[in-house]
Amino acid sequence: MHKKSFVHHLTKVLIDIMLVVGLLICIAIPFVMPILAEHIYYLSSFTIPATIVLIFSGLCSLFILWQLRAMFRTLLGGNPFVEANVNCLRKCSVASFAIAIAFIISIPFRVTLASMIIVIIFALLGLFCLTLKDVFKQAVAYKEENDWTV
C-alpha cells in the first residue's frame, strides 16, 4: 500500500546530516563565542547568556531532529500512523516552545530582530506540532477502529 519514494530517503539522509552537523556546532559554540566577542564589540557583554541560549536551543533542535528521525523510520517502515509518532510530535512541540521561551528570556540581555523572529517561528512550530499531533492521534484511532472492524 505504501511506496518508498526518493524524497523520503533523501529527507532521512538530510536529517542524519543535520544531526551530525548540529552536534558539531553545539560542541563548537563555547569555543567560538569568545572569539566572536573579541571581534564584535556589542557581543562581549552578552557572551555568556548568548552561549547558554545557543547551546540550549541547539540541544533542543537536535532533540527535534532525533524525533523526526524516529518518525521517518515508521514512515519508511510503512506504518506512520502509530502512537509513537503522536508522542514524537508532542515532544517536538515541547522542544519548540522551550526554544521560543529561551529566546524570550534572552531578549532583555540583547534585543535583536533575529531573536524576536526566532520566538515567533518556534512558537508557531510548537503550535503546528500540537495540531499535527492531534491529526495523527485521530488517524491512529481511525486505523485501530478499522483494524478491529475487519
Give the pLDDT confidence score for residue 43 in this predicted structure: 63
Angstrom distances, CA of residue 36 to CA of 40, 87, 103, 115, 133: 6, 38, 19, 18, 39
Give the pLDDT confidence score for residue 1 in this predicted structure: 45
Is 79:144 a contact under the CB 8 Å cutoff? no
From the first residue on, what is the mean pLDDT of each consecutive set of 10 residues in the chain (150 residues)? 74 94 96 82 74 95 96 87 95 98 91 93 97 95 79
Backbone angles phi, psi at 68, to 5 degrees: -65, -40
Residue whose cell numbers read 523510520: 73
Rg, the chain, Cα only: 19
What are the extents of the domains in the chain?
6-149
Is 99:57 a contact under the CB 8 Å cutoff? yes
